[in-house]
Amino acid sequence: MQIRGVKVDHATIQRWVFKFTPMLDKEFRKRKKRVGMSWRNKTKNGEPINFDQFSALVTPAGFKPATLRAEI
């Protein structure tokens, strides 16, 4: 606003946020697309995903998961 030569107090901006946020939220929710209930775990060629191979792809090299040991 300062660039345009309008002086606005920070409290005024806060009041605008409180006033217009519910209206904007309502409009955004109207336009939001619904999420489908179908989740397909298949690759582009139609084969199921092998999650062991997938985890090997996304796990950093040299990563060793922590092991938990119970003290007896």
Amino acid at 67: T
Per-residue model confidence (pLDDT) at position 6 = 86
Per-residue model confidence (pLDDT) at position 22 = 93
Bridge partner list, 48: 42
Q: Is 3 left (phi over 0), alpha (psi -120 to 50) or beta?
A: alpha
Q: Is the pLDDT of residue 66 over 70?
A: no
Bridge partner list, 69: none
Work out the average pLDDT over 42-57: 64
Per-residue model confidence (pLDDT) at position 20 = 93
Work out the average pLDDT over 40-61: 64
Per-residue burial over 29-59, b if 16 or more Cβ lie within 10 Å, else e, is eeeeeeeeeeeeeeeeeeeeeeeeeeeeeee
Per-residue model confidence (pLDDT) at position 33 = 78
